[in-house]
């Protein structure tokens, strides 16, 4: 459902993101309130996103040495999304809506066909891995037919915390927070928050078990991954 008031903490995050189309309707949009998506500043932002995303997806890799691809992709990605950390790589095609409402941490890897309807903010932490065909939907509509005829909609922010693994063809719905270190099984539809260090699957997605934190793993002498040397991509 749509919110009835602005969310100052979400607006404050947005003020720290370069290139967002800050205006009254934008503040309503990212806060989860009903807003008009046909406001000129919002139309312009989506139009810009289509152009820079096309550049990203159409990069001719035949002309670039393999060891330079990651740097070139990151350079172009920084024109698409609001913020992105070093070492992050997204395989094209990548399909954002506004782009500027997406914040991605460092050392993330995203496989083909990520769709992000970033009507509200979509904040992804460090070292998150996302499989093919994932859809992240911060956008929502009321069930009222009249609301759709009036072209009003809303969006709720989505947070994916550090060290998460999102399986193939997962759908993440508005307002969800996926806690640190969690795994979401392939084909799941995430409708509610997932606690940290959970393994969750299904439609709707439910927690099946909890796992050790990364600190606990590092202290466990029987952990098979503890002494491995990290392999850089």
Residues with active-site annotation: 141
Cα 228 → chain centroid: 29
Is 183 in contact with 198 (CB distance < 8 Å)?
yes
Six-digit token string for 227 = 């002494």
How many CA atoms, within 13 angstroms, populate the side-chain half-sphere of residue 222? 1
Nearest C-alpha neighbor of 117 from the set 95, 134, 132, 133: 95
**Does the N-terminal peptide bond of residue 93 adopt cis geometry, omega within 30 degrees of 0?**
yes
Strand partners, 190: 172
Six-digit token string for 137 = 């939907």
């Amino acid at each position: 459902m749509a919110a009835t008031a602005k969310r100052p903490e979400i607006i404050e995050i947005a003020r720290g993101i370069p290139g967002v189309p800050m205006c009254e309707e934008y503040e309503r949009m990212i806060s989860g309130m009903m807003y008009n998506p046909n406001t000129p500043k919002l139309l312009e932002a989506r139009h810009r996103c289509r152009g820079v995303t096309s550049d990203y997806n159409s990069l001719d890799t035949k002309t670039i040495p393999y060891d330079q691809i990651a740097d070139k992709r990151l350079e172009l990605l920084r024109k698409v999304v609001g913020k992105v950390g070093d070492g992050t790589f997204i395989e094209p095609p990548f399909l954002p809506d506004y782009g500027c409402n997406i914040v991605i941490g460092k050392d993330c890897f995203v496989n083909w066909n990520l769709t992000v309807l970033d009507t509200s903010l979509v904040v992804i932490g460090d070292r998150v891995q996302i499989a093919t065909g994932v859809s992240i939907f911060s956008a929502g509509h009321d069930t009222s037919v009249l609301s759709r005829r009036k072209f009003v909609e809303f969006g709720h922010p989505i947070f994916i915390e550090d060290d998460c693994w999102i399986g193939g063809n997962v759908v993440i719905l508005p307002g969800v927070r996926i806690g640190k270190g969690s795994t979401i099984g392939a084909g799941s539809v995430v409708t509610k928050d997932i606690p940290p260090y959970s393994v969750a699957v299904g439609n709707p997605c439910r927690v099946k078990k909890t796992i050790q934190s990364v600190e606990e793993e590092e202290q466990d002498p029987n952990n098979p991954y503890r002494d491995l040397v990290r392999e850089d991509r």
